[in-house]
Structure 1
Amino acid sequence: MSEVFTVIPETCEAAAVKLIGVVVKRFTDICLFICVQFVKFLQQR
């Protein structure tokens, strides 16, 4: 019974780490996209 309780947190932790990685990557991509659009906008003026 105790083995089950040790496996679950590890699985959740791995899933959380993977999820955070995806979110951070997505956030970085969005920031880069916004920065590029902003620079283009400034160059057009």
Structure 2
Amino acid sequence: MYAELALASISFTLINHQNTDLLDQQNRFINLLQDAVKEND
């Protein structure tokens, strides 16, 4: 699942590289997911 999220994130970044608002939102979302994974370890 984590690998799929990483690949989707890379794809999203490549497609939306000019939209800094979307990239910032994506970055915050990925950080939330990573924090949730860390808490469940």
TM-score range relative to shorter protein: 0.5 to 0.7
Runs of 4+ in 1 over 2 A off after TM superposition: none
Point out where structure 2 has 5 or more consecutive residues left out of the alignment. 1-17
Higher Rg of the two aligned structures: 1
Q: TM-score w.r.t. structure 1 length? A: 0.51
Question: Relative contact order (C-alpha < 8 Å, sep 6+): which is higher?
Answer: 2
Q: Which has the higher helix share?
A: 1
Point out where structure 1 has 5 or more consecutive residues left out of the alignment. 1-8, 35-45
How many residue pairs were aligned?
24
Q: Percent identity?
A: 0
